[in-house]
Amino acid sequence: MTRQHTSIMGVVNVTPDSFSDGGRFTDVDAAVARGRELAAAGADVVDVGGESTRPGSSRPEEQEERERVLPVVSALAQLGYAVSVDTMRASVAQAALEAGAVLVNDVSGGLGDPEMGPMVAQTGARYVVMHWRGLLSDPAATHHYDDVVGEVCAELTDRVDVLLGHGVREEQLVLDPGLGFSKDAGHNWALLAGLDRVVALGLPVLVGASRKRFLGRLPARPGEALPDEPSAPQERDAATAATSLLAAQAGAWAVRVHEVAPTRDALAVWELVEEARGAR
């Protein structure tokens, strides 16, 4: 049996306040150039987002979000790239699809806008359903879980049922366990360890661990205490590549990353080892 290739989604944040690279690509030309860079490095999909979801961030007005993302989506689509739009607003998603996007990546899983489900059903677009319990206004806030993997799976299943009720077809849907969203480091590690259970739900799975805070607090040596302060987001790409490999091994459909090359190389090493193992 041939193993399915794990796709790479490269991130283009056209926001002034993203935790990772806010302000670097707010200019349309800079954002398009970044998208081209990611695709050249091996991204299968370029994910364009105009709203930061970092804890404590404020939402842009709808018109501002449209002005941020639509020119970038349109330009990248015209260049022949597969483009996704990262938005919680149905109107922005629909406009992006009309501009050439092929996928809607919604961190709210449809909870942020009641019109999202009907719009996805009407357009037939591919749609990422992320696990979400609401945006965090307090950076220190989190949510309680007795069994984070089981509860995430159950809540994703509930969201899928709601979307199917709107007329969305199952083959349109992709699941995302929502690492870092209303989850502390322990929850994130547990979800990475239990990704096979999310994959076992039977739909494609997207994993977005890239540069998140929990990856910035790693021991310098095995067994040592975790550092008090996390490393800078740009210093977390090696750890991100490791999570990409773990996601691929669990059967993830795709991984979402800020820097493509480290993940591309990690996945290539594993794929070549798997080929060699199969040839023995």
Q: Is the torsion defined by CA of 30, 100, 205, 122 positive or negative? A: positive
Say which of 66, 126, 212, 236 is annotated catalytic.
Answer: 212
Is residue 159 among the annotated active site residues?
Answer: no
Say which of 68, 126, 256, 264 is annotated catalytic.
Answer: 256
Is residue 212 among the annotated active site residues?
Answer: yes
Q: Is the torsion defined by CA of 118, 122, 123, 124 positive or negative? A: positive
Q: Is the torsion defined by CA of 100, 241, 51, 41 positive or negative? A: negative
Residues shown for the chain: 280
Q: Which residues are catalytic?
A: 212, 256
